[in-house]
Structure 1
Amino acid sequence: MMNSTITDTRANSVEMAEVPDMVLSVRGLTVNFTTPDGTVSAVKGIDLDVRAGETLAVVGESGSGKSQSMMGIMGLLAANGRVSGSARYRGRELIGASEAELNKVRGARISMIFQEPMTSLDPLYTIGRQIAEPIVYHRGCSFSAARKQVLELLELVGIPEPERRIDSYPHEMSGGQRQRVMIAMALANEPDLLIADEPTTALDVTIQAQILELLGSLQRRFGMAIVLITHDLGVVRHFAERVMVMRNGEVVEQGSRSDIFERPQADYTRMLLDAEPSGRKEAPSASAPVILEAKDVVVDFGRRRRFSSPKFNPILRAVDHISLQLRQGQTIGIVGESGSGKSTLGRALLRLVPSTGVYRFDDQDISNFDKAAMRPLRRRLQLVFQDPYGSLSPRLTVGEIITEGLRIHEPSLDKAERDRRAILALAEVGLDPTARNRYPHEFSGGQRQRLAIARAMIIKPSVVILDEPTSALDRSVQGQVIELLRTLQLTHGLSYVFISHDLSVIRAISDYVVVMKRGRIVEEGTTQAIFEKPCEPYTRTLIGAALNLKAVDDEADCTTR
């Protein structure tokens, strides 16, 4: 809980005509985007009300208009976006308000937790300074005076060693840690209304529960209203009071939590409720060749000396003497909490970060390969990044982004052939091929994730490291992507390293699971063994939290692992 050092600033905020109980009232909201292919209608005249102290969950598949409706209300649309209708906060109209008027509200009375923290955080400033910025702007204090509150906020959202982390830069933190920084920033001025756009997407199951508990406690303390945008119906079931279901920019159904989950009226709502990653991955033959092997991998990170500090900060060991073998056709799932070293290990396997150890790819020792020596192998070793927006160039069209690898690895292809392959790649990942002339910001978070997958798959690799590839996808699309990855794997004999905090996805796609904690492997084994008879308490905690179990069998026979 926040202590008395965090003061209530609402009395000093912009004066507004207060309407008792009603915090936000939206009528006939539309959002349109002008594109080279014509006008795209993202939101088509929706209505919604949010009352003080309640939580409204807005759910639907990627591209349904969930995020764009809130971005339109906040005046945060891209340059080619247009919003119309009415959105009244405490009686004050936001649609058409000037930037000066909106700036008095944004970050003070209404805050937003954005879906993609890496692109929302400035890479040139420490996370402490960025959290302090809204405090300084709205309260008129200095950055040094705000430091104590920033430390408190970092501790509240579960950032370890806040005294050290306050001076970290965004790239020095894991995806989950960056998400928690965004939450701390949004809560800095104790807003009247919090718009949380996928606030737990990048978080592992144990931290997810802590964050939701934190948001709930703050909501009760300050009477804060929350609009929760999410594709995770498990979160909605335990956190929201009312639910609004969207599809193709329209409201399909809305009602109380019990109405939506126990008595859904729309077929689309029932489809969402029934969607869950399913199936099991068969392990490859024991005689299948080892395509990628790593032995005794160590990755250390140190920070450069700052002008104000005479010494280097301590080295962080992100990966601590890890070994693994990946066979052709195999999928190794890597799980663990945020900051456990999962993503760093994935990059080390592709020789993308400095590390020590022995690496072999396709029976070739690549331990001492430099960038030039690795370049010919890049076509066969691909990575799907955790943050799709940060890895997609905003200056290139989707078609140009997807075919970029073809330009490097197949320079003889003409434009028509590249375009043909882009059409096929987009269709494979469930996107309209006509969208290849649009730009990344015109897509939802889930759609951008599929674009990242298409870019990796178009050049037909042998090994793909998938870093949280389904984290931004709703359950129905997760199932489609998992099925797509299985099909591609069977067709082309692909091998995957699948990094995720979502254990239901790991269970559906992996045949072998590695559990990491603080840079080390704490347990590994077949998917069936890990999920049905985990040996380590840490593994049992993860699985229990993910599957909502009270207990996991303690009597596992671990002698063979």
Structure 2
Amino acid sequence: MAESVLTVRNLHVRFRTGDGILHAVKGIDLDVNAGETVAIVGESGSGKSQTMMSVMGLLASNGWAEGSVKYRGEELVGLSPERLNRYRGSKLTMIFQEPMTSLDPLYRIGDQLALPLVTHGGLTKAQARQRAIELLELVRIPDPQRRIDSYPHEMSGGQRQRVMIAMALANNPDVLIADEPTTALDVTVQARILELLADLQKRLGMSIVFITHDLGIVRRFADRTYVMKRGEVVESGATREIFAAPKHPYTRMLIDAEPTGRKEPVPAGAPVVLEAKDVRVSFVLKSSLFGKPIHVLNAVDGVSLTVRAGETVGVVGESGSGKSTLGRAVLRLQPASGMVRFEDRNLMPLDRAGMRPLRRHLQLVFQDPFGSLSPRMTAGEIVTEGLLVHDPRISRRERDRRAAQAFEEVRLEPAWRNRFPHEFSGGQRQRIAIARAMILHPKLVVLDEPTSALDRSVQKEIVELLRDLQKAHGLAYVFISHDLAVVRALSDEIMVMKSGKVVERGSADAIFERPQEEYTRDLIAAAFLQEREKVAAGASLAS
């Protein structure tokens, strides 16, 4: 019989909220054996992340756990933080879903990687720095000797996630809890990270608890799977058996969920909302003693695009390709050169005050929702914050009514607007971020990985919602993503970026059916590996 490393029995997790007690996890049992991978899947809000946060003793201050969590026979529930720290960071480590909120913006990446190595591994500072460079190499960070001295804001979202993975692996843990560890990664890097984790697991004999909404990853990676819905385990067993013959209707729904359909064509004669020409963004990474640039990164290198009313331009590429920087540049949130025109206004000469009246028409949905939502404000206050700036005369009651309406549009309960961000799952927080942008009825929205934190079933709803909003209001979208299935379902035109340049562009059908560049073909092949597996799973189910 396999040795149990982690044993969970009758675990309950509750939170005190403004609406009463929220029962997030309802008496679940779970086992993790030595050397195996266990997946916990379910929609946003199902309780999968809170289950593992309680194991680590990392619940928010208004939450508490009851029941039993044993690591190799020792009870963890009720331990003081000092005693828990004997396990956290060494025996039990966790890769968090949102890396920007887990990395200190004031410290260099190398210093943050060195901390667990010095604290738990007993290494000297010099040894820890060398080990940190090795870890960055393991997770495929380019030029690790230089990037070790970077700050978190100088790295892309995917690169920050890889730093978090390196930090979690620093002390060769016994149990690695991975909470959506590949959410921010493009498909090719995702495949490499999964291969890396599998290799490390085999070499070190560690157990992995994989929390995810991506069932393609689960099918390839997990030995056993627990399916959670509304705080309860509705099905569990060997992963192969669950995919071949799911017993619960909810499990079958998760397996079948996928963004489908295609966007309607842009109406003939639709006006141009945004036109950008030869946009360039450069970062000086290293300067001489006298301030002369020595190493310059051309993050966006001469990119042009045009977006019409009702049109979606999808921007795809690997992490660090410059797609998010391009999105911020066209909104004048990032210093850039070139020309950017919104309707009949040239935005480049405008200062901050000149841009302010236009901001309600130019909205951005960020990649990292938790980092963009104030923890001191309720969700309703966050969603209506823009109304205070752009429609200051409307009453508080009217703002609250619009907040409730916005919550309904993004498939959230209106009553939840009185909760705080930490009381929502990652996917729910992303929907709040979308509601905040849409409540102002903008003309152009830059969506930077807006579905990256959402499970597939909710992605499907959000894709349909974005299509409906676009059709009703003639919205123009710049849709930035590494999820090519979602990009294809939403986009009219697609731009493929690599190293700051556009290497291929064309209609969505042309890019996916007749890609011209090898780089594009590699992206599509990596993305649709998962889709082929889902088709195979469906075939097994049908048989």
| TM-score bin (small chain) | over 0.9
1:252 matched to 2:234: yes
In 1: Cα distance, 2:36 partner to 2:293 partner: 47
1:315 deviation in Å?
Answer: 1.6
1:367 deviation in Å?
Answer: 1.8
SS of alignment partner, residue 278 of structure 2: strand
In 2: Cα distance, 1:68 partner to 1:302 partner: 41
Equivalent residues of 1:64, 1:248 under 8 A apart: yes
Equivalent residues of 2:105, 2:153 under 8 A apart: yes
1:344 matched to 2:325: yes
Equivalent residues of 2:37, 2:222 under 8 A apart: yes
Cα deviation per residue 1:277-312 (whole Å; 9 max; x = unaligned)? 0010122134211110000000011247699x9875
Equivalent residues of 1:389, 1:448 under 8 A apart: yes
SS of alignment partner, residue 75 of structure 1: coil
The code of the aligned residue for 2:28 comes to I
In 1: Cα distance, 2:87 partner to 2:270 partner: 60
Cα deviation per residue 1:78-122 (whole Å; 9 max; x = unaligned)? 100011100000011110011111101001001100000000000
| 2:81 corresponds to | 99
The code of the aligned residue for 1:515 comes to V
The code of the aligned residue for 2:242 comes to I
SS of alignment partner, residue 62 of structure 1: coil
| 1:163 corresponds to | 145
Q: Report matched runs for 1:415-494 at 5 Å.
A: 415-494=396-475
| 1:517 corresponds to | 498
Cα deviation per residue 1:300-355 (whole Å; 9 max; x = unaligned)? 11247699x98755121100000110011000000000000010000001010000
1:141 deviation in Å?
Answer: 2.4
The code of the aligned residue for 1:412 comes to R
| 1:284 corresponds to | 266
Please tell me the root mean square deviation across aligned C-alpha atoms, in Å.
1.6
| 2:541 corresponds to | none
| Alignment partner of 1:365 out of 340, 343, 346 | 346
Q: Report matched runs for 1:394-433 at 5 Å.
A: 394-433=375-414
SS of alignment partner, residue 25 of structure 2: strand
In 1: Cα distance, 2:378 partner to 2:209 partner: 32
Percentage of pairs with the same residue: 65
1:549 deviation in Å?
Answer: 8.9
In 1: Cα distance, 2:4 partner to 2:63 partner: 27
1:152 matched to 2:139: no
In 1: Cα distance, 2:302 partner to 2:204 partner: 47
| Alignment partner of 2:253 out of 268, 271, 285 | 271
Runs of 4+ that moved beyond 3 A:
303-307, 309-313
Equivalent residues of 2:5, 2:72 under 8 A apart: yes
Cα deviation per residue 1:446-505 (whole Å; 9 max; x = unaligned)? 000000000000010000000000000000000000000000001111010000000000
TM-score, normalised on structure 2? Answer: 0.96
The code of the aligned residue for 1:439 comes to F
1:437 deviation in Å?
Answer: 1.0
TM-score, normalised on structure 1? Answer: 0.93
Cα deviation per residue 1:24-49 (whole Å; 9 max; x = unaligned)? 00001111000111000110110000
Cα deviation per residue 1:249-294 (whole Å; 9 max; x = unaligned)? 0001001011110010000000000000001012213421111000
SS of alignment partner, residue 39 of structure 2: strand
| 1:183 corresponds to | 165
Q: How many equivalent pairs are there?
A: 532
Equivalent residues of 1:129, 1:143 under 8 A apart: no
Equivalent residues of 2:201, 2:207 under 8 A apart: yes
The code of the aligned residue for 1:56 comes to V
SS of alignment partner, residue 360 of structure 2: coil
1:132 deviation in Å?
Answer: 1.0
Q: Which runs of 5+ in 2 are unaligned?
A: 533-543
The code of the aligned residue for 1:105 comes to Y
* 133-142 or 121-130, which deviates more: 133-142
| Alignment partner of 2:244 out of 251, 254, 262 | 262
| 2:210 corresponds to | 228
The code of the aligned residue for 1:38 comes to G
Cα deviation per residue 1:401-441 (whole Å; 9 max; x = unaligned)? 01000000000001000000000000100111111111000
The code of the aligned residue for 1:516 comes to M
In 2: Cα distance, 1:549 partner to 1:49 partner: 27
Equivalent residues of 1:333, 1:512 under 8 A apart: yes
Q: Report matched runs for 1:200-215 at 5 Å.
A: 200-215=182-197
